[in-house]
Amino acid sequence: MKRHLYTSDHDDFRAVVREFVEREVVGNIEGWEQQKLTPRDVWLAAGKQGILGLAAPEEYGGAGALHDYRYRNVVIEELNRVFATSLAGGFGLQEDIAIPYIVELGNDGQKQRWLPSMVTGEIIGAIAMTEPGTGSDLRGIATSGRRVDGGWIVNGAKTFITNGIQSDIVIVVVKTDPEGGSRAFSLLVVERGMDGFSRGRQLAKVGMDGQDTAELIFEDVFVPDANLLGELGGGLNQLRNLLPLERLSIAAQAVASATSVFDSTVKYVDERRAFGQPIADFQNTRFELASMRTEIDVTRAFVDQAIVAYNASDLTVVDAAEAKLWGSEMQNRVIDRCLQLHGGYGFMLEYPVGRAYQDARVQRIFGGANEIMKEIIGRDIVGRR
């Protein structure tokens, strides 16, 4: 089935992204994974190439494409085409969370302070929600902000923070009113170098080895009034309104990753021989490939429609939850079956399918665990808020 998502402008942009990926990414992936970090120079190169800041308004140096997610999807597809999953995840945090939060919630002064350098890659952003004792239950957040003259004193800890080591600004979910109920939480931007703000361990993960994930520690950190992002006490509603974009990003990553692994598997089974013939000539192999391609194509059709809905400001919380739930489950199913078709070689990390297998597992957890996605969808079905 012919895909109708892109225009010639998107195709031209893809050529730019592909050239960047071949020049700056392909030969460096293994080194980044060994370092457990994607260095800043690739961020700066991406900024120079115009690949970062797609959602930022033009007056701040961006592309002004916040409501044309097709450009972001091109970047996601091209990075996953070469199995640069960690870099895709790091860029995704910047492009689909940090920058949109500042664009949508920030005042003019905040946008001027942060967005131009985020577009160039000089400032790397992160968001800190998850805590050691709190995962998907955001109401259980304990990191506190005590009101003082001119700002807040923040104490607490966050964990599993993507871009946690390299981030220059962190959007932190903080309890600013212990008695505030649903309005107890606010978003405060903590900047590198603030007294009392430190990084804990760089966490060892199952997959995504080239992406820095860390613990963050806040010990009597003074955060000025100028760093309150959005409305005081509006944190949960702000998160709720902006989470659909993060979940769309995860679904898009899922389709792009599954596609790349599937394509490499088709090539492998056509070249690999067993019992005197290519593996692709066995009926079981062809049936597996047929089932996987159908799953990928059907999922892509749904995610493409979700992108169209997002561009039209029509993507609902439920739509995004369905895309994230189905996309991440499909990704894991397909990659697992591709690994099986590789046999023992699939379990070797020198083959892309082995690394992709590790990298895919977190997709069912972050952005809200898939059990939470089911709860969101289920509540909508039975009419519960």
* Catalytic positions, written as ranges: 246
| Both tokens assigned to 291 | 């089932």
One-letter identity of residue 357 = Y
Strand ranges inside the chain, DSSP E: 125-128, 144-148, 151-162, 169-175, 185-191, 197-202, 213-224, 228-229, 273-274, 277-278
User: Is the distance from CB of 346 to CB of 338 less than 8 angstroms?
Assistant: yes
DSSP secondary structure of 218-268: EEEEEEEGGGEESSTT-HHHHHHHHHHHHHHHHHHHHHHHHHHHHHHHHHH
User: Is the distance from CB of 166 to CB of 210 less than 8 angstroms?
Assistant: no
For residue 86, give every residue at least 6 positions away whose Cβ sits within 8 Å of its Cβ, in sequence order, or none. Answer: 29, 32, 33, 38, 208, 209, 210, 211, 359
| Both tokens assigned to 96 | 């689909």
Length of the chain: 385
Rounded to the nearest 10°, the torsion over CA 164, 193, 148, 215 is 20
If we measure between CA atoms, which residue out of 298, 283, 282, 287 comes closest to residue 337? 287
Contacts by residues 63-71 (CB-CB < 8 Å, ≥ 24 positions apart): 66/100, 66/103, 67/310, 67/311, 67/313, 68/311, 69/245, 69/248, 69/252, 69/307, 69/310, 69/311, 70/5, 70/6, 70/7, 70/10, 70/307, 70/311, 71/10, 71/13
C-alpha distances out from residue 97 to 2, 152, 166, 212, Å? 31, 23, 16, 16
User: Regarding beta strands 273-274 and 228-229, do their DSSP bridges make them parallel or antiparallel, or are they unpaired?
Assistant: unpaired
User: Is the distance from CB of 176 to CB of 152 less than 8 angstroms?
Assistant: yes
